[in-house]
Structure 1
Amino acid sequence: MAVSNSHSQNGFCSKTLIFHSLRPSSFLPPQATHLSVTDFIFSLLNTTTTTAGSLIDATTRHRIPYTDVKLFVRNLAAALRQPPVSLTKGNCAFIISHNSSYLPILFLSLFSIGVTVSPANPASSISEISRQIRICKPVVIFATVESVRKVSETGFNNRIVVIESSEFESMMRVDRSNGSEFSDVKIDVSVSQSDTAAILYSSGTTGNTKGVRLTHRNLISSVAGAITSRKSTCCDSPAVYLCTVPYFHVYGFTFCVRMVACGESLVSVARFDLRLIVRSIEEFRVCYMAVAPPVVVALVDGNNERLVNGADLRSLDTVFSGGAPLTVAVIRKFKRRFQDVSLVQTYGLTETTGAISRVASPYESTIVGTVGRLIAHCEAKIIDPNTGVSLPPMNHGELWVRGPSIMKGYVDDKQGINTMVDSDGWLRTGDLCFFNNEGFLFVVDRLKELIKYKGYQVPPAELEQILHSHPDITEAAVIPYPDEAAGQVPMGFVVKRKGSTIDETQVKDYVAKQVGIFIN
């Protein structure tokens, strides 16, 4: 197939067989500059953006204006370096909490003093939490009241700070009646962009849960890209964003950090609750909404028609969907119901610090099935899985990507990083994809052994290990099964021990006690 050497139309260069980004380049500071992602974000915030926006909790309606955010971050950072917490650079903090307006402040405070942030799902089982604690080795855990019991049952012996407590509140809002405040204390911590900023959890292309090390440079590149792609909208300034994606997921984690950098109002939803989501859009005049596919499915579900149609959603301009692909049927239902709202998909991995492609214009949102074009500074190849040869547009193959957002590696797992990233920095995504002649990326199938359940990665190997641990099960296999609402659900096949009377319900109950999902 003949392909022009020029890549102005689709980003493909026939000489190198590499797809290049068609997006405008974003400013990235010199890599050798000592700079935390917090300092980078604060350097972007100016008077205009910091006086109008707020961090908003959808459930409590609690607001933190940006005029307070920088002060709270500095106060909290200084307090955390002092007794009784006494954090130092290189420590790790495990955070187990649903979304709240406090989490972006906590993240930025920890980043600023060189402490690694490791957020986790509060719905996880005690064994899952134990495994993640063993991976990240935290010296402190920040938890909600409802998560403290689980943390305690893991045997964690170091300090636990309850996020809703008066202790946590006082560290942010230091009593300044005596004329002093923690923000007056110089935070003398030198953070390199190559330092690990976060440990998030993934299964890579296969196997058990791994801790993904994301650097300050990775997060800075994500923030810089968001600033560059930001454009004027029909919304009032600052725009109001609603995030239904959990902040322990790379999508929600990077999203909340980017919104602070942009100075946009961010409404946080703690749990999936369609009634609360609809009410929040109406009450806060939400313009943009970040969701996982199940929210889109719920919005177009006929059973929810009265709730959705009965609300004033005229402020809504764009819905961003990520974490898993949407089916063409759901996309078409959405476009029929919300004719004036753009539905755009993004694509990325935990290992790529979130999105490496996204839709970025009304025209692009009309192309059904695409996950957009490559973000700035990102390169890609389509590799034939059988021959290892790079392929031109309109050919299916494994997607490989390279750029400043690629992870530093896995915690204590050199074999895992060597399997996924080659010596030239190319990360193998494990996804079967193709680029069309306009440079739009389409995800066709999954080569890697993962099940995408509501945007979460579910490793079949982990579920199979749990099934094999049951004394009445001699053999087990787990595969993905298509599901419109969840994308995929795990389906298990088991061989019972001879003479066993165990049934399907008992197997499900056994698995459910050890993981945050059910097996079918």
Structure 2
Amino acid sequence: MAETDTGFSRQTRTYTCLRPPIPLPPINEPLSVAEFCLSVFHTTSTDGATTFIVNATTGEKLSYSQFVSQVRSLAYSLQQRYSLCQNDVAFVLSPPSVHIPVVYLALLSLGIVVSPADPLSSNSELVHQIQLSKPVVAFATSQTSHKIPSLKHGTIILDSPEFVSLLTQSNIDDDASKRVHVNQSDTAAILYSSGTTGRVKGVMITHRNLIAMMAVIHHINTNETEGNENPPRSVTFFTVPLFHVFGFFMLLGAVVSANTVVFLERFDFEEMLRAVEKYKVTGMPVSPPLVVAFVKSDLTKKYDLSSLQGLGCGGAPLGKDISQRFKEKFPNVLLIQVISIFFPFSLF
């Protein structure tokens, strides 16, 4: 039994959370994380015209209604045109793009394993990752496709007219579309370690893993907005790449939270500040060096950053001196030291 004051069990020598358990779907219920995220999104009061994702480099954006429509269209198109099977692996090698979340959700909804990689990886690194994940199809761009070897079902080019046609099917027949029963225990994604302590490793994550994480975020959001008919909109600037484990989780969390996501194709500090001003960004994940840049750079005086409510700093400990200087310079911005992969979506 756990001790009531700490949750520590002397018998098992483990800690148990003292908070009530968060309800999860029955484990035997067929359910993909994509279906879970979209079902939670549809229960919110978010207008479909609300912006989901913005490419601040080009100004290209998708509303939530467009995003859901494209996910549905792409999933249908992949079923009709490709002989993909459940638990097949799709390798994704692309710079940041508004197409990436559409690809992720469509593949996950079909039970296809998503395996994104850094487009700047060397050829030898990519060969190793492909050997680990054994993909049968790839999604890449015209700039990255040459790095992909010949695969069973080829490579789909994201910046091609052919791919755009997959997103715009207007005659989707629900009866013709195969209903895919994805087990929660099935692998949803293969993400890669950093390789700092040896060769890169592929980490398998199940739909159940991701559903549990998204359920936590939904639970927090629900509790913090309870009784508020018009909860404030959160706009998150992504400083983390979409192929990275943090960016992957945050992207799913943004859908569950019905937040707006803003990103740059290539990170630049001043371009980030410009995007904060233009899109009224409320929060972002940051690293200690980025906090230092906020503190020391005079560029912050050129832009209206009044929309910022909070920064979640992770990756390494943040020095007390820098924290204090940040607080003095930005007294209305909450700076949090993040010690978990869970980013506080509802806070910002």
Once residues 85 and 344 of structure 2 are traced to their aligned partners in structure 1, the CA distance between those partners, rounded to angstroms, is 40
Which residue identity lines up with residue 93 of structure 1 in the other structure?
A: A
More strand by proportion, 1 or 2?
1
* Equivalence for 2:73: 75
Deviations 1:475-506 (A, max 9, x none): xxxxxxxxxxxxxxxxxxxxxxxxxxxxxxxx
Segments of 5+ residues of structure 2 without an aligned counterpart are: none
Deviations 1:253-291 (A, max 9, x none): 100111011111111233321112111111111112123
**2:23 aligns to what SS in structure 1?**
coil
Q: Which has the larger radius of gyration?
A: 1
How far 1:206 sits from its partner (Å)?
4.2
2:337 paired with 1:333: no
Q: CA deviation at 1:157?
A: 7.0
- Give the AA of the match of 1:326: L
> Are the equivalent residues in 1 in contact too, given 2:32–2:109 (CA < 8 A)?
yes
> Map of 1:1-150 to 2, 5 A cutoff?
5-7=3-5, 11-13=7-9, 16-22=12-18, 25-45=21-41, 46=43, 48-51=45-48, 52-83=50-81, 85-150=82-147
Alpha-carbon RMSD: 2.7
Give, in angstroms, the shift of residue 101 of structure 1: 2.0
CA distance in 1, matches of 2:346, 2:128: 41
**Among residues 201, 206, 212, which one is paired with 1:210 in the alignment?**
201
C-alpha distance in structure 2 between counterparts of 1:327 and 1:128, whole Å = 34
Match of residue 255 from structure 2: 260
**1:424-481 CA deviation, whole Å, 9 max, x = no partner?**
xxxxxxxxxxxxxxxxxxxxxxxxxxxxxxxxxxxxxxxxxxxxxxxxxxxxxxxxxx
CA contact (8 A) 1:36 1:192 kept: yes
> What is the identity, as a one-letter code, of the residue corresponding to 1:292?
S
Hey, what does 1:199 align to over in structure 2?
190
Change (3 A) 1:285 1:182: farther
Residue 186 of structure 1, CA deviation? 2.2
For 2:210, which of 216, 219, 224 is the aligned residue?
219
Rounded Cα–Cα distance in structure 2 between residues aligned with 1:267 and 1:236: 20
Q: Are residues 329 and 270 of structure 1, via their aligned partners in 2, closer, same or farther at CA, if it must alter by over 3 Å? A: farther
Equivalent residue of 1:251, what SS?
helix
SS at match of 2:339: strand
SS in 1 for 2:135: coil
Matched ranges for 1:272-311 at <5 A: 272-300=267-295, 302=296, 304-305=297-298, 307-311=299-303
Cα distance change on mapping 1:328 and 1:147 into 2, 3 Å: farther
**Contact residue 64 and residue 101 of structure 1 kept, 8 A:** yes
Contact 1:55-1:64 at 8 Å conserved across structures: yes
Task: Flag structure 1 segments of 5+ consecutive residues without an equivalent.
Answer: 349-353, 363-520
CA distance in 2, matches of 1:54, 1:82: 27
Shift of 1:103: 1.2
Q: In structure 2, how many angstroms separate the alpha carbons of the residues matched to 1:169 and 1:24?
A: 45
Q: How does 1:360-371 map to 2 (within 5 A)?
A: none
Instruction: Give 1:169's match in structure 2, choosing from 156, 164, 168.
Output: 164
Q: Is the aligned partner of 1:248 residue 2:215?
A: no
Residue by residue, what CA displacement relative to the aligned partner does 1:236-265 show, whole Å, maximum 9, x if unpaired?
743211111011111111001110111111
Q: Classify the secondary structure of the residue corresponding to 2:130.
A: helix
Quick check: 1:79–1:182 contact (8 Å CA) kept in 2? no
Cα–Cα, structure 1 residues 187 and 296, in superposed 2: closer, same or farther, change >3 Å? farther
Whether 1:345 and 2:337 are equivalent positions in the alignment is: yes
Report if the CA contact (8 A) 2:76-2:172 is conserved: no
Aligned partner letter, 2:172: E
1:188–1:157 CA distance, 2 compared to 1 (3 A): closer
CA distance in 2, matches of 1:100, 1:107: 12
Give the residue type in structure 2 aligned to 1:281. V
Counterpart Cα distance in 2 of 1:289 and 1:142: 27
Shift of 1:169: 1.5
Q: Report % sequence identity.
A: 38
CA contact 1:202–1:211 (8 Å) conserved in 2: yes
- CA contact under 8 A between 1:320 and 1:346: conserved in structure 2? yes
- 8 Å contact kept, 1:345–1:359: no
Secondary structure (helix, strand or coil) at the match of 1:131 reads helix
Counterpart code for 1:19: Y
> How far off is 1:359 after superposition?
7.1
Superposed structure 1 runs of 4+ greater than 6 Å apart: 358-362
Match of 2:304, as an amino acid? D
User: TM-score, normalising length from structure 1?
Assistant: 0.60
Question: Counterparts of 2:281 and 2:163 in 1: how far apart (Å)?
Answer: 29
Q: 1:319 to 1:22 in 2, by over 3 A?
A: farther
| Greater helix fraction, Structure 1 or Structure 2 | 2
